[in-house]
Amino acid sequence: MNRSSPGLLRGGVIALVAAVLGAGAAITGSMLLASSAEPAPIVRPTPSIVTAIRDLARLETAEVHVEKVVDLSDRQSRLFGLIEVRDALLLVAAGQATLGVDLSRVGEGDISLDPETGVAQLVLPEPEVFSARLDEKNTYVYTRSTDLLARRNEQLESRARQEAVRAIEKAAIDGDALVRARAQAERQLTTLATQLGAKRVEIRWRKVPAVSPR
């Protein structure tokens, strides 16, 4: 068996170490060059007040809780009109109405910002009732009575519930809920416009066509 000479073995080890050190230096150098390079600038678009307000779409600013008792009856005639009978119920209803500002109605000319004074002017649609709904857990038929000759009206409870929803909507419109909804909207939109660069915010309100709650 042939034995390798010590000189030859030592020379091979030295060459291997040199190769490893050279590769390490090359990698380290490339990492240093990469880390010293300037990071690419990131451009973030600044949202305008118009876009930011439109993005809010429906701004819900108030909710009102209403309790209502609905007394509804279906009067019926029997025996050629000689006798009047009825099917009646008493519904105890509880529900909520949500109010706010429909910002999808805001147009380009409704919002302006003076770059010199920093005054933002907003013309907004009046607050409206977005929805009126019953609280099913707390709405129930308290009494139901059907006279002997009367026919039970299966739609009577449904009609009573519809009447309760209308009463909830009316209570929201007639009370101070719309005033509170307007004040809250002014606070929220003033804060938003200020965050976007406005120094002062002026808000005016305009009437909107009456629509049913959604």
For residue 214, what pLDDT is reported? 54
C-alpha span between 152 and 147 (Å, rounded): 9
For residue 42, what pLDDT is reported? 42
Domain contains 39: no
For residue 182, what pLDDT is reported? 94
For residue 82, what pLDDT is reported? 85
Domain contains 19: no
Write b or e for each residue in 47-74: b if 16 or more Cβ atoms lie within 10 A of its Cβ, otherwise e: eebbebbbebeebbbbbbebebebebeb
For residue 38, what pLDDT is reported? 53
pTM equals 0.66
Q: Which one, of 126, 116, 137, lies nearest residue 173 by Cα?
A: 126
For residue 99, what pLDDT is reported? 95
Domain contains 68: yes
C-alpha span between 68 and 95 (Å, rounded): 8
Domain contains 11: no
**What's the number of domains the chain is made of?**
1
Domain contains 27: no
Domain containing 152: what range? 49-206
Cβ neighbours around 27 below 10 Å, total: 10
All residues at 6 or more sequence positions from 130 whose CB lies less than 8 Å from its CB, including other chains: 58, 60, 98, 99, 100, 102, 213, 214
All residues at 6 or more sequence positions from 75 whose CB lies less than 8 Å from its CB, including other chains: 84, 85, 86
Domain contains 56: yes
Q: DSSP assignment, residue 203? A: E
For the chain, 214 residues long, the average pLDDT of each consecutive 10-residue run is 42 39 45 48 46 73 93 90 91 96 86 88 93 96 92 94 95 89 94 89 85 56
Domain contains 181: yes
For residue 35, what pLDDT is reported? 47
Please give the single-letter amino acid code of residue 206.
R
Contact 50, 134 (CB under 8 A): no
Write out pLDDT tens, residues 58-77: 899 999 999 999 999 999 88
Domain contains 81: yes
For residue 115, what pLDDT is reported? 86
